[in-house]
Structure 1
Amino acid sequence: MEPKEKGYKNVNGIRMYYEIYGSGKPLVLIHGGGSSILFDFKEVISRLEGRFQLIGIDLQNHGLTDHRDIPETFEQDAHDVAALLKELNIERASFWGFSNGGNTVMQMAHLYPQITEKLIIASSFYKKSGMMDGFFESMAEATLDSMPETLKINFLSLNPDFSKLENLFDKDSKRMQTFQDWDEKILTSIEVPVLFISGDKDVMKPEHVVEMWRLVPNAQLMILPAGHGSYMMADFEGNTDHQLIDMTANQVVKFLTH
């Protein structure tokens, strides 16, 4: 699994890192908080690179992309992704966002409808009450020690600078701590087809994902027997359920090609 192209583009004052796999219609892959392209999408890329042009992006403060001293927002991430795609001469694409990446993808549809074709919003949320009980209370007390070990190891393997890990954790946790519920209009205004995916033991409640699905006019819904993202990647213990991921990938292909 080797990217056809990888490198950096200067975007909104920072160097953003990207990788491109496969060929066909473009599908942009947006990772979750604290993560990077391959940590979240390695399994997906191995299954879909024969079908689509997959564009993985490391967001601000993440992976191999530069750091900023401004607070992280989902809107800023959407501006960065749109600007990067412009640099890559990609006029329209579908988007697959996982976890916080799903929030970024919703903002893409809201702020840049002209470049969005179809959306896969995986394990995402738009209201604090949609998260499992205690989530935001635990975020308020989060320290670098509470960041999942696998995410720390992944970041430092890409980026041995420990101060950058501290910056990433600080920016990511503050974004969650200061999160304000979104207006329903963010969802009701989405005009393109959307596939919502979540696990029944995810960090957001299944009821919340159903609520989001009902707000988007042209949406499909898939709730799988899985934890946070284990329907598309290894779980935090490092176990990979290949059959479950196959099922997710097959549904995504069906959604994107019909």
Structure 2
Amino acid sequence: MSVDVHYTVDGPEDGPVVVLSGSLGSRLDMWDPQMAGLTGRFRVVRYDLRGHGSSPVPPAPYTMADLGSDVLRLLDRLKVERAHFAGLSIGGMTGMWLAANAPERIDRLALLCTSATPPGTPEAWEERIRTVRTQGTAAIAPTVVSRWFTPAYAERDPETVSLFIDMIANTPDEGYVGCCNAIQTMDLLPGLPSITAPTLVVAGKLDPTSPPEHAELIASRIPNARMEVIPDAAHLASWEQATFVNELLLDHFGRSSAAA
């Protein structure tokens, strides 16, 4: 069952709508580096995943259909028939589900640093879930964030590293586990060939979580998908290489004014 997720809306009221969907353990403010660039031309909708930030925390487990249905419910609440969608990590997984299962609602799609099948081993996901269940999200936060930024960036900007460690540590345990379950049980590959939305697939060259070969697989299955690899970026490329990512998003979404 879908839930009413927490959201913000910025940008011109009559601009094409762009929905931004974030990473596991993040809040909507993970997209702060994109706002100045996008809100000049687009009506930007950011939201907290279920179980994250200020959104409701239903009991785990969740499925990718749950996460996608939350977005459809959000579009209905906003009276938006059709929107562009950009998602990073689990946000990108949500975007793939939406584009395959509700193609009439998605205009153009951007998939950042994501995977169509569970990244990592089943054992690693079970260990992460077990740790959060017994010790809380704070116990995994430093390890997770160590994969979000390159070592050089982390050394250069320790305040950002601390920001995201705190963000994950403050994510409700139940919500984090529920989204881990959604990733664990997903297989989005069968739906990729049916995606009709013009799709941009972006990988961070140094991303240890969803490396470029994951993006290559996605791009090879979605008809006419375009792929870009960002140098000197790990998993949170939208933050570490914000200028590069913003240029890609503006170009991709700027090719259409169909979203209302």
| TM-score between both structures, scaled by the size of structure 2 | 0.79
Cα gap change, 1:53/1:180 in structure 2, threshold over 3 Å: closer, same or farther? closer
CA contact (8 A) 1:188 1:215 kept: yes
AA matched with 1:21: D
2:27 is equivalent to residue 20 of structure 1: no
2:182 is equivalent to residue 169 of structure 1: no
Equivalent of 2:167 in 151, 154, 159:
154
Question: Structure 1 segments of 4 or more deviating over 4 A?
Answer: 149-152
2:185 is equivalent to residue 188 of structure 1: no
- How many pairs does the alignment contain? 224
1:217 is paired with a residue whose SS is coil
Cα gap change, 1:89/1:198 in structure 2, threshold over 3 Å: closer, same or farther? same
Q: What residue number does 1:201 align with? A: 206
Shift of 1:156: 6.6
Deviates more, 1:86-95 or 1:166-175: 166-175
Q: What residue number does 1:6 align with? A: none
2:5 is paired with a residue whose SS is strand
* In 1: Cα distance, 2:45 partner to 2:244 partner: 21
Q: What residue number does 1:161 align with? A: none
2:252 is equivalent to residue 255 of structure 1: yes
Q: What residue number does 1:238 align with? A: none
Q: Give the alignment's Cα RMSD to 1 decimal.
A: 2.1
CA shift digits 1:190-225 (9 cap, x unpaired): 011000011011112312211211111121101111
Structure 2 unmatched runs, 5+ = 132-136, 143-161, 256-260
2:243 is equivalent to residue 246 of structure 1: yes
CA contact (8 A) 1:120 1:195 kept: yes
Cα gap change, 1:151/1:170 in structure 2, threshold over 3 Å: closer, same or farther? farther
Greater strand share, structure number: 1
Shift of 1:26: 0.4
Q: What residue number does 1:58 align with? A: 48
1:16 is paired with a residue whose SS is coil
Cα gap change, 1:185/1:15 in structure 2, threshold over 3 Å: closer, same or farther? closer
CA contact (8 A) 1:192 1:218 kept: no
AA matched with 2:172: L
Shift of 1:151: 4.2
Q: What residue number does 2:234 align with? A: 227
Greater helix share, structure number: 2
Identity percentage over the alignment? 25
* In 2: Cα distance, 1:207 partner to 1:165 partner: 31
| TM-score between both structures, scaled by the size of structure 1 | 0.80
Equivalent of 1:140 in 106, 111, 126:
126
Q: What residue number does 1:179 align with? A: 185
1:172 is paired with a residue whose SS is helix
